[in-house]
Structure 1
Amino acid sequence: MGQESVFLRMRHRVQSELGQVVTIGDVAQVIASQPVKREIILLPIHSITIEDKTFVIIDVMKVIEKLRANYPTYDIQSIGPAQAIVTVNQAKKPLAPVYFVLVWFLLFIGSGLAIMNFHEDVSMRAVHLRIFQLVTGNEEAKPLLLQIPYSIGLGLGMILFFNQFFRKRLNEEPSPLEVEMFNYQQALDQYVILHENKENKADYHAD
């Protein structure tokens, strides 16, 4: 009988609860014969405790070490990323309505001031007056015929830019904000993997 082969691919990020026993199947995709796979995915690899705080890094070397201890004759091969980030879901207190209103008010005032300051910097009022004069031949201090559609278009443009109206998405394309948040999350994950991985710290102290 040939040697049993096991292929592992670590998941990038998984969710867990306090007190949960994380298994190999939780943090990695496993390819093997069905009987072997059913055993491997149920093997515990880490128990979530209060000391783990927000996240835990599970290194593929720890998984391979666990498999070697239980199945010393298996041919174990790793494919893809070398770590999985296990995020510990903490109990969150509901946001009080007064804090919600305060945050909404600050964001509303801040965004309004940003738009007004931008318009003042580029002399938007003078531009509107000049355009209105060129199009109609009349001079008015408040060309509402031009300013009202512009204000409506500004709001619609923000909706199209962020690709979302309240909770409803306009299409499947990610918005620029979502792309920036994704890039930030990727950079944060890389930082966590490099600086919080216990295996990396152990290698450093060993050297």
Structure 2
Amino acid sequence: MSDTVYIKMDRSVEVTHEKVTIGDIAKIESKNKNIVNNIKPIKILADKPELGNRYVISIMKIIEIIDEKFQNVDISNIGETDCIVEFKKSNTSCKPLEILKTGIICILLFFGAGFSIMSFNNDVSIDQMFLQISGQISEDTVGGAKILELTYAIGLAVGITVFYNHFGPKKITKDPTPIETEMRKYENEINDALVDGHNREDGKLDLK
């Protein structure tokens, strides 16, 4: 009687070691735990920096390797048909340097966003608009305009915070932020392009 082995691959994985096994890129399950323990350590990929740091592995290659090593095993794929393996170096960077880089990026974003907002306000002549609104409501146009400017600044800050779902390092809700959503779309497009390139024999894969 044959044993059924369930394989679930993710769309992409990151590894920090040079040799990749089936257990690194896929989740393996079976009632026969001995088969699972023997499948996971099988080496399927070795990093070669001169060829790049991304590789595409097809589920068909994994099935082929398992069929060569085991008899009477039925394989059922319940995940992705292609997995993109990306080699990354261990995070051994200098902590102060990372803090400095983050600070520089925050400063650039702060002044860049401030310049954009000021340019927009200048184009719509918001100062004149505040004076007109305060003039229609009260006789003190200058004081009314200052109140409107203050509430506008507070509302702008609150709106940005709510929109980006972040206040400092903490998220307001568990929902993904617009930046996270766009980054996931970008990653999916990159992964699709890599898989398409591999299927057209443009991919790089060095097995065993």
Q: Could you state the TM-score of these two structures normalised by the residue count of structure 1?
A: 0.83
Q: Answer with 164-173 or 90-99: which moved more.
A: 90-99
| Contiguous gaps of at least 5 residues in structure 1 | none
Match of 1:131 in 2: 133
Q: Is 1:30 the counterpart of 2:28 in the alignment?
A: yes
What percent of counterpart residues are identical?
A: 27
The answer as to whether partners of 1:54 and 1:90 remain within 8 angstroms in 2 is no
Other-structure match for 1:146: 148
Residues 129 and 143 in structure 1, CA contact (< 8 A), matched pair in contact too? yes
Letter in 2 for 1:30: I
Deviations 1:28-73 (A, max 9, x none): 1222221211111121111223235322211111111111110143
Q: Deviations over 1:123-182 (max 9, x none)?
A: 222221122122223322882122112112211221111111121111101122221111
- Output the CA distance in 1 between the equivalents of 2:42 and 2:98: 42
- Do the aligned residues in 2 keep the contact of 1:18 with 1:49 (CA within 8 Å)? no
- 5+ residue gaps, structure 2, are 204-208
Residues 87-106 of structure 1 mapped to structure 2, 5 A cutoff? 87-90=86-89, 94=94, 95=97, 102-106=104-108
Q: Which has the higher contact order (CA 8 A, sep 6+)?
A: 2
What is the aligned-residue RMSD (CA, Å)? Answer: 2.5
After superposition, residues 12-161 of structure 1 pair within 5 angstroms as 12-19=11-18, 21-32=19-30, 33-90=32-89, 94=94, 95=97, 102-140=104-142, 143-161=145-163
Cα offset for 1:102?
Answer: 4.7
Report the 3-state secondary structure (helix = DSSP H, G, I; strand = E; otherwise coil) of the residue aligned with 1:5.
strand
Q: Equivalents in 1 of 2:38, 2:145: separation in Å?
A: 75
Aligned residues of 1:5 and 1:76 also touching (Cα < 8 A): yes
Match of 1:201 in 2: 201
Aligned equivalents of 2:142, 2:202: Cα separation in 1: 74
Task: Kindly indicate whether the alpha-carbon contact (under 8 Å) linking 1:59 and 1:82 is maintained by their aligned counterparts in 2.
Answer: yes
Q: Is the 8 A contact 2:56 2:195 kept in 1?
A: yes
| Contact 2:7–2:26 under 8 Å retained in 1 | yes
Aligned pairs, number: 199
Contact 1:16 1:86 (C-alpha < 8 Å) held by counterparts: yes
Q: Secondary structure at the match of 1:151?
A: helix
C-alpha separation between the residues in 2 aligned to 1:171 and 1:101?
25
For residues 6 and 96 of structure 1, the distance between their equivalents in structure 2, rounded to whole angstroms, comes to 44
Closer, same or farther: CA 18–53 of 1 in aligned 2, 3 Å: farther
